[in-house]
Amino acid sequence: MRIAATADLHFSPPSHTAVLDQLGKVRDEADVLVLAGDLTNYGLPGEMEPLINALVRLRVPTIAVLGNHDYESGKQEELLRMMTTAGIKVLDGSGYERDGVGFAGTKGFVGGFGRGALTAFGEPEIKVFVKASIDESLKLERGLSQLRAAKRVVILHYSPIAATVSGEAPEIFPFLGTSRLAEVIDRHGADLVIHGHAHHGTLDGRTTAGIPVHNVAITLLQGRQPAVSYRVFDL
């Protein structure tokens, strides 16, 4: 299976033609398209609708997770319904199998990496915050445990490792992801992990167990030589 992946389109209606130009050839190059969150800029149905129209015209099976920007207006449920109605598979703590490949996905959350990960100690506000991070890890665990396929792809918006956010200011690393997600990935195993969110991070990294992790934020891909709008992974 050839998997095209991108993230952080931050779509707003004026960028309609640009997206069609950017993704127009995906059908020739890949069997599925993965969108790793921040599909819209402000999480508005008025942004999602033209994006869906553009995506449907690509005629490629599409699998997505939402990102923090898609939550900005509190309309994430509506966005999810719109996408599902259009035939886009949205993963939110769920698994999905297609042509012998399993996909597990969830948005993920902030929280920090390794010894720097925030723990649920002290004020109730901290505990609520950390719980949101743990809940996303549990959702990923649920998605992965639903899969029976031998080959497995994890789709996240937030990063599970520090290596692929490297390039951003170190002060904001804890807001770009959490290694709680990587612990789940390493425990369950996967062949490929795709995420976005760190617009100025690093393309490639690995979990502690050696599972490849790729940051596919479109800003990062377009900074490559030659510039691309998505990466294609062979599985």
Contact residues toward Fe ion (CB under 5 A) are 8, 38, 67-68, 197
Report the 10 Å Cβ neighbour count for 92: 15
* Residue 91: both structure tokens together: 């993963």
- The encoded tokens of residue 190 equal 């996967």
Is the distance from CB of 102 to CB of 75 less than 8 angstroms?
no
Task: Give least dist CB 156 to Fe ion, A.
Answer: 11
User: In the complex, what is the shortest distance from the CB of residue 28 to Fe ion, in angstroms, rounded to a whole number?
Assistant: 27
Cβ neighbours for 131, distance < 8 A, ≥ 6 positions apart? 120
Nearer Cβ to Fe ion (38/183): 38
Distances in Å between the Cα of 153 and the Cα atoms of 36, 63, 96 are: 12, 11, 10
Shortest reach from residue 148's CB to Fe ion, in Å: 31
Q: Could you give the strand order of the β-sheet that contains 212-215, starting from the edge strand earlier in sequence?
A: 94-98, 101-106, 151-156, 192-195, 212-215, 204-206
As a whole number of angstroms, the distance between CA 63 and CA 149 comes to: 16
Minimum CB separation of residue 62 from Fe ion in Å reads 18
- Residue 162: how many CA atoms within 13 Å on its side-chain side? 14
Phi, psi of 213 (to 5 degrees): -120, 130
Least distance from C-beta 41 to Fe ion, angstroms?
Answer: 9
Radius of gyration, alpha carbons of the chain: 16
Closest CB to Fe ion among 8 and 136?
8
Task: Give the nearer residue to Fe ion in terms of CB position, either 151 or 200.
Answer: 200
Structure token digits, residue 65: 């997770």
Decide whether 102 or 136 has the Cβ nearer to Fe ion.
136
Residue number, 33 or 101, with CB nearest to Fe ion: 33
Rounded Cα distance, 154 and 107, in Å: 11
Whole-number minimum distance, CB 90 to Fe ion, in Å?
16
Q: How far is the CB of 3 from Fe ion (least distance, A)?
A: 20
